Structure 1
Amino acid sequence: MELKNCVYKFINNNDEINYIGKAINLNSRIVSHNHLPEECYNSTFVIEYSEFETKTKDDIDILEKYFIAKYNPKYNEIYKNKDLTIGIEETKNIDWKLYDKNNFAIRNYLKFINDIEFKLNNIQIDIDIMDYYLMFTMIQNFTYQFYERYKSYEKLNNTEKLDLYTTEFDELKNKDTFEKIFLLQNKVSKEIKEKVDSIFAKNKLLEYSIHLPQQHIKTQYGKLDRVMNLIQLNECINLSDNTFKLYIDYKCKYYDTSKQLTVWVKCRD
């Protein structure tokens, strides 16, 4: 499908616009692009475009100049740094679309993701593996105790159940064990977050979240059915090489797909 009368943007990994151009035929223009510095192409990870209903070539020329003046891209040399106080009717509610053909931006993005994943797979943190082991087993014991007590509530009415639920949970929560879990979780989470944040630093393309393996309790219509995903220690902790399992979910703000990466984090020897 031909994409005609377009304005396009080259966007870097910090979600900044590298360059803005125009194209009578976008596919042909992107394929033949070669007049910019190599560093512009190498740092472009996303290309966006918008098609316009224009009657003359001059129309698209004016639109290109308007967007260059508005956004001041790094690699455009003319029409930059203009003090605009007016708008163009055709630019209101503009629909920028992702240009996802097989081009240099896609290759750069995939290389960028591979570099991120390589660094994530080589995380080392300054905690003792036994601290993590202790935290994990405490969480497992706490979850099991909580589940066993909750099972006895199923024959009670909702009001009685809620009262007992709150009382029992507070009783467990106030124990020394819970405090130890809390302190260890904070220590582990802080170390991990600092490492992961440093890898994603100066990158605004990716949104990410971090998850530690843990039990999940399935609730349906307010009734506890069963404990799901009871994790075996050897599935998420390897004491022989001082590593534990971590999940990192990430998604590019310009792409619909998301990915979960399983990482084995190295603790200090």
Structure 2
Amino acid sequence: MKNCVYRFINKENEIIYIGKAKDLKSRIKNHNHLTEECYSEVAFIEYATFDTEYEMDFAERYYIQKINPKYNTVLSDKPIQFSCSELDDCNFKIYELNDYVVERSLEQIELLKQDELFVKVNMSLISLLGVITIVNSDSYLQIQRNKDSYEDMMIKSREKFNYYIEEIIIPKILDYEGKLQSKYHLLDINLKLFNIKKITSKINLVNNELVVNLLYKEKYKNEYKKLDFKIKCSK
């Protein structure tokens, strides 16, 4: 594990320290410059890898100045306000399994299964199905690739569908996905919307809902499992 940014996490899911390492295993093994209070508070360690040392250096500075962990003494007094979505969405992995991580992950899975998993969108079910069908169609993809070669009517149609996707559907989905990820922080959660192959089996006309897949897994595993996630439409 080379060019890593690592984070110490406590049992309240607070990031209490951030560091960097050219060789993560060696760094963690010889980590002794912080207080005993800090080490005793660590519940688990997360890490993310970067292609170069320059990217690693930038990421460490960004996270420290953005998050301001309580045991970081350098850079934490220089907060920043801007955001970098690529770093904000970076997938951190569990460094080493321990009893806390395994037990809490299983607890979070059970809680996720009991949660009401749905989001409301301000459009009819028919409109939603139309948007999904068109976005998945070859003609729509053709329009996207050849923006300047179609008549104004086609361009306006594309813009209308883009509005539905980018302004109504996607923000709702991403916002809810982010909230779930924060709530169930030891799981990887992914909402799948537009890769529906048998869409008719996913429609609930009585409740005006479309059921899609919510994928989840423990952060230390590779295989995703599925739960039903409902998109509730207006009438």
When the two structures are superposed, what TM-score results if normalisation uses the length of structure 1? 0.36
